[in-house]
Structures are given as C-alpha cells and as structure tokens.
Structure 1
C-alpha cells in the first residue's frame, strides 16, 4: 500500500507524513481483520472510543485506567 501511495502522489512529503500514513493504514487493516468497517473504525477512534477487540487485548487503553 505504501508503494501505491507513493505512485499516486509521487512521494511522501516528509518522514512524519509517511509514519502517519503507516499508522493509520495499520489501524484500518487491523480493524478490517477483526470485521470492523473502515468507516466505523475511523468514527470510533475520532470519538475517542476504542474497538472492543483492542480493549480486550490492551486493558490500559480504557478511559481512566491507570
């Protein structure tokens, strides 16, 4: 997918942009593998919610967990 992005836009403008693209793409692919649609995954994360499969795996992500 990274190669496709580079071909479409020519290149990444910065290393930070490439990292952000990779993190977002990784999150979306993980959600898809856990049967969560990309739109739903983005909506949840932008609302400060974590998908259930991540909460089960990483209890420290829960709001207020210390």
Structure 2
C-alpha cells in the first residue's frame, strides 16, 4: 500500500441524492466531506451541527461573551 495518500479512500455525503459516495463522484456543490469512513459520511449533518456549535462556543469565549 502506498504511503503518499494515493490509495486513501474517502467518503462523501451527497446532499442532493442523500447517499454516501465512495470517492468524489459528484459535483462539489452537492457534497459534504471528505470523511474517512462511510459511517462518518452517513452522519455528515450531525457532524456539521456539532462542529458549528463548538465553533459558536469558541467565538463566544474569544469575544468574552459568557452567553
């Protein structure tokens, strides 16, 4: 197996078809990812929501807003 990343499989969630794709098969406008596993790609919206919430918390701490 190559160590330069060429053999690395990535998964994407297609928001138009609501399907997980192995590799980038569709237009970037329709995709979320990449994700390292199919399971993570299936949770794309949940992961995005968790990250957004975390970033909001970081912004509040940075600006001194305790909420």
Give the alignment's TM-score, normalised by structure 2. 0.36
Larger % of strand: which?
2
Report which structure shows greater RCO (CA 8 Å, sep ≥6).
Answer: 2
